[in-house]
Structures are given as C-alpha cells and as structure tokens.
Chains A and B, each alone.
Chain A
C-alpha cells in the first residue's frame, strides 16, 4: 500500500481539508466521529453536518463513502461534501433493541433508511425516531449517532438521519 493510500482515511485531498470529519469547537467537545473521512462536522454547531463523498470529474458521479478512485472509470476522485438534506428512498424498522454494541433502552428497535442525496449517492443508515415518524419521499438531515464511548468519555459517533421539520427544508 502506498503512502497516499495510508493517508486516505485521514481526510486529505480534494475540497475537504485535513481534519475534516473530526468534531471540533465548543459544544461538540463530547462527541466526535468514530472514524475520520465520513462526516464533516463544522466548528459552528449551527451549521449542518454533511457527508463526505468522492467526486469523479471523468464520470461526473459522486460516491459515498469515499473511494480510492472512480469505480466506473478508474480515474482519480476528489473529496466533496454532499448536500445536508436528502430524500428517503426506502426504510424499515428493525425489531431488535440492539445494533452491534449499541443498546436501545427505551425502544424495541431502530429504523434504517436509504436516502437519496441531490448529488446522486444513495446512503444507507440508521434513522432516528420510531415507525410512523417517516415515509418514502420525506426529507431528512444528517445527524450524529453515538455508537461507542472513548476512554475520556467522548461519544464516538457514526451518522444517522433525522426527519427535518418544515422550516429546515
């Protein structure tokens, strides 16, 4: 593996600067992405979270998660942020109160959605809420989803989706 490939998950290259994907700034001190390279967490907590995708100029196609190279043309790709809001393509509700090491003490399971982003990628992930809170075609935003806790008490997060309210659309 080349040095460039080792740096891949450090979030280097393209439009997203080094360090993107690592939670920073007051207000987010207790949460950060479990791994870099998936989620861009702005320093200003009022700004929306965005997923970090790869863009292939040659194929004019976005991919999530990031790719080493364009899977359609083998051409180089660069990092681009996806829009903060996507549209539910499909969903389900899993009737098990655990997902890996994550336990859901106050519900009997968790939702999963496939979400289409305006740039093209369809992204699969947990959707917050309970069955009935969402349906196909609804708009959702990206939110942090705790999946583990670090030694210093910081919540390590994956991403999830949450239905947006009317004024967020």
Chain B
C-alpha cells in the first residue's frame, strides 16, 4: 500500500546507550553501527549506501568514522535536519532502497548535544538567542489558557516517560525508583511552566538502522530468526504558512505540520491511528507529547488531557507513547534520536522489548520534529 516502487524492510537496529559521560563521537558511532550490523547478520561491505546524521560533529565526521567499519567504497552522505536528522537519514536510506539504487542501506546517527552549549553565545544577533526551552514553554502556557491544561498534566506525562525508561539499558535517565508527579514538579524551574525533569535529557549517543529489499529481509530473517518489519509509510513535510506564523529564529513551528504529515503517512499505509500499537514522538517537553496525541489524530482536539489521566498513553494503556522513555528519559543526543525511535519500534514489533513490551504489537508510528521547521513520520509494521 505504500507509495514506494518496491517494499522496504528494517533488517537491523543497534544503539550506543545514550548517556552524559562525554563518550567520544567515534565510539558512539562505531558501537551503534556495529550493533546494527550484528543484529542483521550483515557486513559493512554489504551496504550499498550509508547516510550519516549529526549536528555537533566536525567536517567529515561521517566519512571519518565509516573508516572504522571498512573501506567499502560505498557512497556515504551526511544529512542534517536539526532534531529530525536521524529520521531524515532513515528516510533517505529507505528511498534509496525503494527507488532501486540500493539493495541494502544504512542510516547512522551519532552525536552529543552537550557540544551545543554555545548556542546564542558564539554570536550576538537579532535572532536565535532565546533558549529553545522557551519555545515549548510558550506552547505550554497557551495550551493552559485555551484548554485549561494543568501543570500536573505535564508532570504526569514526564513521570510516565521517566518510569517507562527505568529498565531501558539504552536510556540516559534510568531512575532507580518510581518517579512521582510531585518529584517532577519539585525539580528545578527551567521555563514556566516546565521543570528540569520535564525537559529532554540531552547528552551523547548513537543509533543505527539498516533497511533492505524484501529478498534481503527474507534472507536476514531466516538467518537471525527475527520477524520481518516492513516500512509501511515515510512522510516528511516542511513549514507551510499558517495564521500567526513565526519566522524569527528557531521556533516550535506550526503544530499543523504534524497533522498533515501524519495524514499523508496514514494514507500511504492504508490504515489509520486506531490501527497503531504504539507511538514515539519528539517529546522534548511534555506539551509536545500532549499536543501530538491530538495532531496525530489519536484523539480529538482538546481530549489529550483525558488520555493522560486515563493512562491510555502509558505502557499497558490503549496506545502507549514514548515506550522507551522518549526524549525526556531515553534521551536526545541530536542526530541519533529519530533512529532510537526506530530501534525501539523494531524491538517492539519483533517482541524483543522485554519489560516494556507492548502486547501484540503490530504497528508503530515514529515522529520527529526538526527545529520546529520539519516533520518526519514513519510507520513500521510487523510483516
């Protein structure tokens, strides 16, 4: 049902755990790619194309770190789309296989957002000096005004995501105790109404996904025993003009972008939000996850708060969100983040997610925003 010329499957996923320990980019890169190759039972020399993604690296980092894997001669292309970098690399790998240019392609993200601490300091200009946290807080305050959303609702989403990451060995935040709403509210204020425990955990990490044709996927599945996971939709949009459009600096962008991108993805898939088993989103702050319940058509506008209070979006609920902890707890290193969402979804669809396993997981949606200016959505399903 997809719009691809031929079907594409995810045959391997791997990660370097997200952390805040100043791990070298080279190690983040090597470990994550090696893990994905091992997962697929493939060699780096099997890759017909490689797409690398990072925000904070140096010139040529992708080309340089690929030399640790092998001098295969394959085309290596660096892509960057802010937080949606890994998702965009994934999309490029999919399109390379779907269009016939590659039989097997790798999307590979490695990064450390701690290297972005100079934002707004390195240069002084009319734009770009306001902390990104403020952009999401502005969304939050307006939501509270329009819909009566409470700070406790935001805290409840954050606590959910912290607790869903407790057993995730790849998560940056692995709390040793059940995180409570009160604890989230009592953490340090960042930008009203948000606190530090509501904020994405920025640090370092690596994540990699390998996609391939059906023929390759069948071979890999026979070798590894892993169930096949098909790419059911790949949709991407940048901004279109909306009333109240904000141009100055990076913003969270028009929320409608997620809605229109998701509807394209559902159309490609041939099914709808009711057919999803789980969702991963760009939950840099809980206002985003709350709004995406509605913008992804999981519920009607204004009904997102009720989903939180009913537990519908928690593990065990009707439609779990951020099953691996999301950006808030699994973490957000930048380039790899979207690929970590793919990693989690593939594990879930294979039935390999351990204590986080969503029962009878059949299909998962992954959504990433980049600088509020680009939205990338993929839907993966168990074949």
Residue from the list B124, B133, B193 in contact with A101, Cβ < 8 A? B124
Minimum CB distance partner of A136 in chain B: B145
Residue from the list A33, A35, A99, A156 in contact with B129, Cβ < 8 A? A99
Cα-based distance from A114 to B249 in the complex (angstroms): 13
**Contact in complex: A95, B189 (CB < 8 Å):** yes
Asked if A122 lies at the interface with its beta carbon under 8 angstroms from chain B, I say yes
**Contact in complex: B133, A38 (CB < 8 Å):** no
Asked if B219 lies at the interface with its beta carbon under 8 angstroms from chain A, I say no
**Contact in complex: B131, A38 (CB < 8 Å):** no
CB within 8 Å of A: which B102-132 residues: 120-121, 124-127, 129-131
- Of B12-20, B136-144, B269-277, the one contacting chain A is B136-144
**Contact in complex: B131, A94 (CB < 8 Å):** yes
Residue from the list B125, B134, B243 in contact with A35, Cβ < 8 A? B125
CB within 8 Å of B: which A120-151 residues: 120-126, 131, 136, 147-148
CB within 8 Å of A: which B132-191 residues: 133-135, 137-142, 145, 188-191
Cα-based distance from A122 to B138 in the complex (angstroms): 12
B245 surroundings in chain A (CB, below 8 A)? 63, 121-122
Asked if A85 lies at the interface with its beta carbon under 8 angstroms from chain B, I say no
Asked if B306 lies at the interface with its beta carbon under 8 angstroms from chain A, I say no
B120 surroundings in chain A (CB, below 8 A)? 99-101
Residue from the list A63, A65, A95, A121 in contact with B126, Cβ < 8 A? A65
A38 surroundings in chain B (CB, below 8 A)? 126
Residue from the list A96, A102, A114 in contact with B138, Cβ < 8 A? A114
**Contact in complex: A93, B191 (CB < 8 Å):** yes
Minimum CB distance partner of B128 in chain A: A100
A63 surroundings in chain B (CB, below 8 A)? 245, 247
**Contact in complex: B130, A112 (CB < 8 Å):** yes
**Contact in complex: B130, A90 (CB < 8 Å):** no
Residues of A within 8 A of B (CB): 33-35, 38, 61, 63-65, 67, 71-72, 89-96, 99-102, 112-114, 116, 120-126, 131, 136, 147-148, 156, 158-159
Besides the contacts A63-B247, A114-B244, what 5 more A-B pairs have beta carbons closer than 8 Å?
Answer: A38-B126, A65-B127, A91-B138, A123-B246, A156-B124
